[in-house]
Structure 1
Amino acid sequence: MDTRYLRHARRHARGAVQPSAIAIIAVVAVLAAASWFLIIKPHQDLVDQEAGAHPSTPVTAAKAAAAAPVNVAAMSMNQLLSEARRAVNEQRLLAPAGNNAFEFYLKVLEKQPGNQVATDALRETFPVGASLAEQAINQRDFNDAQRQIDLLAKADPANYTLTILRSKLDAQRKLQDREQQLASDKEKQAQLAAQKAADKVEADRQAAEAQQKALAEQQRAAQQRVAQQQAEASRQAQPPAATQAASNESAAGGTHGAVLVRNVSPRYPTTAVRANQEGWVEVSFTITPEGNVDDVKVVDAEPRHVFDRAAVEAVSRWKYQPATQDGSPVASQDKRRIVFKLN
């Protein structure tokens, strides 16, 4: 075979292979680029979002809040945006005061009005911030709720959600005021009721003491009157001159009737003293030859059954000089009216 033909064929083959290799390389590059944009980059974005890299996507697990920057006013734009993203990732949208995403983004807008990153972040996180402010209202942390609403108003003053939040905050404050007023009124009513009860107890005690004192005075007065009556009866019971004459006559062997020598005053019943009752009892009885009183019977009384027992007991203790007949003691009958009088 002609060697010149072989060399020509080889050169022609090398020239044909070179364009196909270029085409293969181009296809591989296109596939790699497509893989980057269609597979790798979306996956990386998803990973970043799950890690909280996007400012509008808070992390699901709360992280410990970082310490607030020392000098926020001196921070650069990048530092403020970095702190804001960090606050979003740590779920510090509106709190704590001075160290939250809204304040950092608002500070960015102060330095650079119209900053698109801060504007977009505030717009995207506004609904979540409104929800947090509502939670603060429901928890009745009214001061912090007002602060959060003010931050939201700086981000979007015309948002109608602010009107709803302010109305709810005002309603909850009024409700709390009413509840506190009701609790205060209830406490005052309880104190007033307790005071009235204490006053009533004291009044009852004083009335009981006054009643006991009055009863004691009444009993003392009754006892004094009874003592006076007993003294008077004792004086009346002293044997008069006629008694002495009868005694002399008896000694001489004469006849005479029984003579009272000792009078025992009746005891005034306590129930009658308390009821301020007066009355009398008429009794009949027998005087024995020894001068004792026997067989005492109630003939009449006014009122009935009030002074009977006291009269019978008193008369039963009387002593007589017995009646005599021909100088000898004999039994005799007598009848007396016992008067019960308080004055």
Structure 2
Amino acid sequence: MKAKRMGWGVGLLLCLAGCQGASSPDAKQGGAASPVAADIQLDEAVPATPYARAAQALAENRMLAPAGDNAIEHYLAARAEAGERTRAQAALSELQPYVLIAAEQAIARGDAGEAKRLQGLIERIDGQAPALPRLEASVVALLREQALQAAAADAAAAQPALSPTSSTLEASSAQTARTPAPAVAAAPVVRAPDIAPSPAPIPARQEEAQAISPSVVPSRVVQESRTPRLLQDAQPRYPLPALRARVEGQAEVAFTIQPDGSVRDVRLLSSTPAGMFDAPALAVAQRWRFEATGQAHASRRTVRFQLPAQGASGG
């Protein structure tokens, strides 16, 4: 009987040892701990604050796009928080010139919708920005120009419906004019072209035309080839990355001087170093104004970027 009790005691001890082993921390490591680790990884992948999301967007070259998930809009959201207001505003002030450059590029390529969106971002950054009135006027002018072009296109599309009638009338009138020709062909007048060099009136008119044409044609060619005089120059904004790296360079742009002296159709021809000065060179060309000649002129110009004197603030 005593041996039987000892056997029961040994069995009870083994059972307790097995239960403790099943409830050890090692056994629980794959259970409740893994969801917590997953939550931590998720928090690390998606920044929790607007300022952190803005920094991540800026690092991924999403400064202005896409709409709703870019660095500018995240910085604007961070500025609304008391703890992030100061450094968020500092970041917005540094990035504001690039928003303006992007808006001017959108106007240059005729994208009124994008220009309007970027104008709204500048208004949210600084409602008293000096460039806002000029930018707003450019957007309004672009919208008005596109409306006029659309109206002209509609009018041109409706025009072919009337052209067959006019062409038919012209064809019939031409045929009527040619109809009497066979009756006159048998007359002696047909031989007149063989003796035509003798009459004086025809050479006199030709001499008049030759005497007038040399004075008209060369003046027109000179006027078209002469580059209009530059009336309003503008200085480009030095890119912050180039300023910090102490890099100088230049960019050559081609553009069209409109009859009123404004500049349109700006495009980049070359730049050194490649890609660093493209945006400010295209933006500054939009602000040039030339002498109004009543005609369009194709032109080009080189924009040079030189570092300011040591110790002077760049911008």
Q: Is the radius of gyration larger for structure 1 or structure 2?
A: 1
**TM (normalized to structure 2)?**
0.37
**TM (normalized to structure 1)?**
0.34
Q: RCO greater where, 1 or 2, for CA within 8 Å and sep 6 or more?
A: 2
